[in-house]
Structure 1
Amino acid sequence: MEQNKLLIHPSYFPSISHFVAMVQTPELIYEVDDNFQKQTNRNRMYIYSANGLQLLNIPIKHSKEAHQKYRDVKIEYAFDWQKQHFKSLEAAYRTSPYFEFFEDDIRPVFEKKHDFLLDLNLQIHEILIECLGIELPYSKTTEYFKEVEEGIFDARGLINGKKDKNKFKSYPQVFDKKHGFINNLSILDLLFNEGRYGVDYLKKQALVL
């Protein structure tokens, strides 16, 4: 990427395409001022379970407002989704090479109850960069702009996983002999299978929007 700055959303254990974009751009800006949209990776991630592709979704509290800012979205704790998500990760990745190595690092995500989704996703950012052994300092937007200024790589479209058509090189996955390689999952899939070697993988992948 020739751009010096990247504009992207913080998300729930981001997709590999998110991290490819982030590690290949010098300056990271998180978009936090747009309106929240349902069925995006702001509050969901995809993992590789014994049955194939599995969606883990964070429930949010519904607002009476027609449009709600991403930064104002609150998490719903009426049922214990944190326990459910961690159990799903254990079932999917317990036998992966690096799950036990990083297990205690990610566990706090499923123990602390953040009021706001954005705060949770920013905590996840800090945990992931520590796990990967990289530095990805960021700033946050203070207002929303539909068009970005010159020199900024607009990767906000990646938050909509259904429209993300990026294809990446395969790497070993726990159940690949059963279902084959599944592309562009949560960064956790790469982390648990490749550990910090995953950083080199991310730097070598090509990204298209």
Structure 2
Amino acid sequence: MKLALLTPQFAPNLYDLAVMLQADRIILQNVERWSRKSRIHRAQIRTPEGTQWINIPIRTEDRKKAIKDVRMDHSDDWVTPLLRTLEYNYRNSIYYDFYEPEIKADFKSAYDYSHLMDFILYIQKRLFRFMDISIDYELASKLSAYDSNPDLLAQRLGANTLFQEHYSRHYQRQAKQKSDPIFDHPKYHQHFEGFEPLCCILDVLFQFGPESFRITDQLVEKVEG
């Protein structure tokens, strides 16, 4: 059994998606402590100069809490600048105008939520739906066998392969038996010159729209082959 241990993310990148699609079981570690270095509250997008991060602000007093207890900071309007950043960088993408109204409404719905976890799971589900992807996961907070020790958890659950997030040593406890998924980053046409890997799935969605499967299928076809 292939087990994936991930932190919740509102806009995963293609490596994250490869892990999800190749795993037999996915556990979102919502009981672990929130970290500013994680990608729970941020995602990487393409820009003319390279890449930049879009961020969801977190209440200062919650920064030492478990992910499931962290609240968003709605004291200032953060959604409008985030949407402007997406517009500035993606307005010339083929499918930006097609998805913009729904994505705008989805992000504005953030103010209906207080907790980060609830909102990012909603956004992630919506983005996956746009890309015709279905992902099943379990929350660590609902799993009686859960343990923060990834090796012990894998043993308890009978996993012989354990996937974790890439570049996560600063915020995710690393397993001794950690494995990497079969992953060769798809190189596709981006709306700016050159190619920047590990952008979030918004980058694929705005460029390929309903044909995003041409990219996401590459994340599993080598495994199936």
TM-score by length of 2: 0.78
1:172 matched residue in structure 2 = 189
1:188 matched residue in structure 2 = 202
CA contact (8 A) 1:23 1:202 kept: no
Q: Deviations over 1:89-133 (max 9, x none)?
A: 111111111112222332233212121111111001210121011
Alignment of 1:129-140 (within 5 A): 129-140=128-139
1:7 matched residue in structure 2 = 5
Please point out which of 197, 200, 204 is paired with 2:218.
Answer: 204
Structure 1 residue 27: Cα displacement:
3.3
User: What are the ranges of 5 or more consecutive residues in structure 2 without an aligned counterpart?
Assistant: 172-179
In 2, the alpha carbon distance for the partners of 1:86 and 1:26 equals 35
1:86 matched residue in structure 2 = 83
Residues 1:107 and 2:110 are matched in the alignment:
no
Structure 1 residue 152: Cα displacement:
6.6
RMSD value, Cα:
2.7
CA separation of 1:129 and 1:12: change in aligned 2, threshold 3 A: closer
In 2, the alpha carbon distance for the partners of 1:24 and 1:187 equals 17
Structure 1 residue 203: Cα displacement:
3.4
CA contact (8 A) 1:167 1:184 kept: no
User: What are the ranges of 5 or more consecutive residues in structure 1 without an aligned counterpart?
Assistant: none
In 2, the alpha carbon distance for the partners of 1:161 and 1:92 equals 30
Larger radius of gyration: 2
Alignment of 1:142-161 (within 5 A): 142=141, 143-147=146-150, 148-149=153-154, 150-151=158-159, 153-158=161-166, 160=168
CA contact (8 A) 1:8 1:154 kept: no
Question: The residue matched to 1:63 in structure 2 has which SS?
Answer: helix
Structure 1 residue 168: Cα displacement:
1.3
In 1, the alpha carbon distance for the partners of 2:29 and 2:105 equals 24
CA contact (8 A) 1:41 1:160 kept: no
CA contact (8 A) 1:7 1:153 kept: no
One-letter amino acid of the structure 1 residue matched with residue 123 of structure 2: I
Q: Deviations over 1:61-113 (max 9, x none)?
A: 12278x41010111112221111111111111111111122223322332121
Residues 1:54 and 2:52 are matched in the alignment:
yes
Structure 1 residue 58: Cα displacement:
1.5
In 1, the alpha carbon distance for the partners of 2:169 and 2:216 equals 18
Structure 1 residue 55: Cα displacement:
1.4
Identity of aligned residues (%): 23
